C-alpha cells in the first residue's frame, strides 16, 4: 500500500501534479489568458503608446520643420516668420498700389529726389539764378572750382575716365557773374562786328553763351569737358572717345549731358556735347533711364 500509497501519493500527487500541471496548465492557460489579456492590454497600451508617440512625432516633426525653416528664411533668427509675412504683405500692398494708380515718378521710386533739392535747381533762359546765389566753392583741378557738394563725384568721374586711358580736359567750371558778363559781351561784340543789330547780336550770343544770371556755370554745378586732343566746342566733340565715355558713364557720377541734341526747344540752349550738369546720382540715373532733360525730369517729379 505503501507503494500504492506511494503510488497513490504520486497518483494523488500526479493529478495534483497533473492538476498542478493542468492547474499549472490551467493556470498556465489561465495565466496564459491573463497573460494573453495582459499581453493584449499591453499590446493595446503599446499600440496606444505607439499612436501617441507617432502623433507626438508628427507634431514634433511639424514644429521641427517650422523651427528648421526659421533659420533659413530669417537669417538664423527664429520666430521671424511673422515679420517675413508682414514684409511680404507690405510688398504686396506696395505692388498693388503701384499697379492701381501709377503714381508719378516721385512716388514710385524712394530714391527720387525732391524737386526742390539743391542739386536740381533749374537755371535756363526762363529761370535765372536766385538773387544773391553764391555756392560754396572748392578747387577741382587745373584752377577750376565747383560747388563743394559735387566735387567728390566730379573728381571720381574724371579719375574713372582717365583710368581707361582717356584724356578728358576741363575747359570751364564755376563762373562768377562778372566772368559770364565778359563772355557774353565779347560774343555780342563779335556779332555786332559781323553786322548784326544790337538786338540780334544779343539774341545770337544768347544761343551759345548764356545771358549773365542764366548760366548753370554760375551754380558751380556745371563742367565743360572736352577731349584733350580736340578742344573745339562744337558737335565734333561727340565723336571723341572722351565724350563717348562721358555720355555713357557720367550719370554714374551724378552728371548728365545737360543739352541733348533733340532738346534745344526745351532747354533753350543748342546741342552741347561737352556741357555736363551735376544733378545727383539718383536723378542722373533716372534721367538717363528715361532719356529726359532736366526740364522734362522736373515736370515728371512734380517740380
Ligand atoms: Zn557749359
Per-residue model confidence (pLDDT) at position 100 = 38
**Domain boundary, last residue among 20, 47, 74:** 74
162's CB contacts (< 8 A; 6+ apart) are: 168
Buried/exposed code over 152-184 (b: 16+ C-beta within 10 A; e: otherwise)? ebbeebbebbeeeebebbbebbbbeeeebeebb
170 and 59 fall within a common domain: no
Domain residues for 292?
118-175+215-300
165 and 249 fall within a common domain: yes
Measured between alpha carbons, how far is 298 from 115 in angstroms, rounded to an integer? 6
What is the residue-wise DSSP string for 94-135?
Answer: HHHHHHHH---HHHH-TTPPPTT-GGG---BTTBPPPTT--P
Q: Is 192 helix (H, G, I), strand (E, B) or coil?
A: helix
CATH code for the domain of 133: 3.30.1380.10
How much distance in Å is there from the Cα of 4 to the middle of ligand 1? 142
**Domain boundary, last residue among 51, 74, 97:** 74
231 and 288 fall within a common domain: yes
How much distance in Å is there from the Cα of 105 to the middle of ligand 1? 28
Per-residue model confidence (pLDDT) at position 108 = 55
Work out how many domains the chain is built from and give that number: 2
pLDDT in tens for each of the 303 residues of the chain? Answer: 433 333 333 333 333 333 333 333 333 333 333 333 344 444 544 444 544 444 444 444 443 333 333 322 232 222 232 223 222 333 333 333 333 344 556 555 678 899 999 999 999 999 999 999 999 999 999 999 999 999 999 999 999 999 999 999 999 999 999 999 999 999 999 999 999 999 999 988 987 888 999 999 999 999 999 999 999 999 999 999 999 999 999 999 999 999 999 999 999 899 999 999 999 999 999 999 999 999 999 999 987
How much distance in Å is there from the Cα of 183 to the middle of ligand 1? 12
Question: Would residue 272 show up in a list of annotated catalytic residues for this protein?
Answer: yes
* Secondary structure letter of residue 45 according to DSSP: H
157 and 244 fall within a common domain: yes
Query: Which CA distances in Å does 250 have to 58, 158, 171, 253, 278?
Result: 60, 9, 17, 5, 9
Q: Cα-atom radius of gyration of the chain, to the nearest Å?
A: 45
pTM listed for this prediction: 0.64
**Domain boundary, last residue among 57, 74, 91:** 74
13 and 132 fall within a common domain: no
Which grid cell is 259? 543739352
Measured between alpha carbons, how far is 285 from 291 in angstroms, rounded to an integer? 10
Q: Looking only at Cα atoms, what is the longest distance across the chain?
A: 171
- Say if 25 falls within a structural domain: yes
Q: Which of 77, 134, 272, 286 is catalytic?
A: 272
Amino acid at each position: 500500500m505503501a507503494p500504492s500509497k506511494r503510488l497513490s501519493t504520486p497518483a494523488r500527487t500526479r493529478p495534483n501534479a497533473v492538476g498542478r500541471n493542468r492547474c499549472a496548465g490551467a493556470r498556465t492557460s489561465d495565466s496564459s489568458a491573463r497573460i494573453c489579456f495582459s499581453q493584449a492590454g499591453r499590446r493595446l497600451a503599446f499600440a496606444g503608446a505607439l499612436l501617441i508617440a507617432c502623433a507626438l512625432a508628427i507634431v514634433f516633426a511639424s514644429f521641427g520643420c517650422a523651427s528648421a525653416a526659421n533659420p533659413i528664411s530669417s537669417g538664423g533668427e527664429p520666430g521671424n516668420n511673422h515679420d517675413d509675412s508682414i514684409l511680404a504683405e507690405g510688398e504686396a500692398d506696395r505692388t498693388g498700389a503701384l499697379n492701381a494708380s501709377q503714381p508719378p515718378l516721385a512716388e514710385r521710386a524712394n530714391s527720387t529726389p525732391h524737386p526742390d533739392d539743391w542739386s536740381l535747381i533749374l537755371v535756363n533762359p526762363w529761370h535765372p539764378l536766385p538773387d544773391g546765389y553764391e555756392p560754396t566753392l572748392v578747387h577741382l583741378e587745373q584752377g577750376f572750382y565747383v560747388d563743394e557738394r559735387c566735387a567728390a563725384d566730379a573728381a571720381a568721374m574724371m579719375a574713372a575716365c582717365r583710368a581707361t586711358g582717356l584724356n578728358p580736359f576741363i575747359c570751364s567750371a564755376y563762373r562768377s557773374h562778372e566772368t559770364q558778363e565778359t563772355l557774353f559781351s565779347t560774343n555780342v561784340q563779335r556779332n555786332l562786328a559781323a553786322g548784326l543789330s544790337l538786338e540780334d547780336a544779343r539774341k545770337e550770343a544768347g544761343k551759345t553763351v548764356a545771358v549773365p544770371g542764366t548760366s548753370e556755370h554760375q551754380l558751380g554745378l556745371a563742367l565743360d569737358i572736352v577731349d584733350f586732343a580736340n578742344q573745339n566746342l562744337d558737335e565734333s566733340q561727340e565723336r571723341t572717345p572722351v565724350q563717348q565715355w562721358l555720355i555713357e558713364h557720367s550719370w554714374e557720377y551724378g552728371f548728365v549731358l545737360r543739352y541733348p541734341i533733340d532738346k534745344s526747344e526745351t532747354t533753350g540752349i543748342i546741342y552741347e556735347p561737352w556741357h555736363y550738369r551735376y544733378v545727383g546720382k539718383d536723378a542722373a540715373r533716372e534721367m538717363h533711364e528715361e532719356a529726359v532733360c532736366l526740364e522734362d525730369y522736373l515736370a515728371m517729379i512734380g517740380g
